[in-house]
Amino acid sequence: MLQKPRYHRFFTIKAVSNLEVDAAFPIGLLMLFKIRVLLGSVCMVNEVMSRQRAYDLQTKEIGYSEFWDIEMETMSRDKLLRLKEDKLQKIIEQAYQTPFYQRKFKEAGVSPSDIRTIEDLKKLPITTKDDIRKSQAEHPPYGDYLTVPLKQISGLYSSSGSTGQPTTSLLTFRDQEVVTERSARSYWAFGIRPEDVVQNIINPQLFLGYWFVHWGATRIGCSVISMGIGSSDRQLQVMQRYGVTCAFMTPSYAFHLAEFASKKGIHVRKDLNLQYIVLSGEPGGSDPVIRSRIEETWGVKVFDCPGMMEAMGWGYTCKEQKGVHMQEDHFIWEVLDPETKEPVQPGERGVLVLTTLETDAQPLIRWWTDDYVLYSEDYCPCGRTSHVFPGGILSRSDDMLKISGVRVWPSGIESALKEVNGFGGEFRIVKDSSSIRKETGALFKLKLQVECRSETDAVDFIKNVKDKIKAKFNITPEVELVAVNSLDRFEFKAKRIITK
Which residues of this protein are in contact with Zn ion, per CB under 5 A?
Answer: 318, 320, 380, 382, 384
Minimum separation from the CB atom of position 181 to Zn ion (A) = 18
Minimum separation from the CB atom of position 382 to Zn ion (A) = 3
Minimum separation from the CB atom of position 76 to Zn ion (A) = 16
- b/e map 139-149, b = 16+ CB within 10 Å: eeebbebbbbe
Instruction: Pick the closer one to Zn ion by CB: 320 or 480.
Output: 320
- Alpha carbon of 188 to those of 158, 217, 246, 311: distances in Å? 27, 9, 12, 20
Instruction: Pick the closer one to Zn ion by CB: 149 or 381.
Output: 381
Instruction: Pick the closer one to Zn ion by CB: 71 or 455.
Output: 71
Instruction: Pick the closer one to Zn ion by CB: 328 or 360.
Output: 328
Instruction: Pick the closer one to Zn ion by CB: 253 or 375.
Output: 375
Q: What are the backbone dihedrals phi and psi of residue 156, each rounded to the nearest 5 degrees, phi first? A: -125, 130
Instruction: Pick the closer one to Zn ion by CB: 324 or 450.
Output: 324
Instruction: Pick the closer one to Zn ion by CB: 163 or 186.
Output: 186
Q: What is the dihedral of CA 436, 440, 444, 450, to 10 degrees?
A: 40
Minimum separation from the CB atom of position 2 to Zn ion (A) = 17
- State the maximum Cα–Cα separation within the chain, in Å, rounded to a whole number: 86
Minimum separation from the CB atom of position 325 to Zn ion (A) = 6
Minimum separation from the CB atom of position 278 to Zn ion (A) = 16
Minimum separation from the CB atom of position 379 to Zn ion (A) = 8
10 Å CB burial of residue 253 (0-12, 13-18, 19+) is buried
Minimum separation from the CB atom of position 386 to Zn ion (A) = 8
Instruction: Pick the closer one to Zn ion by CB: 104 or 384.
Output: 384
Q: Are 255 and 231 within 8 A, CB to CB?
A: no
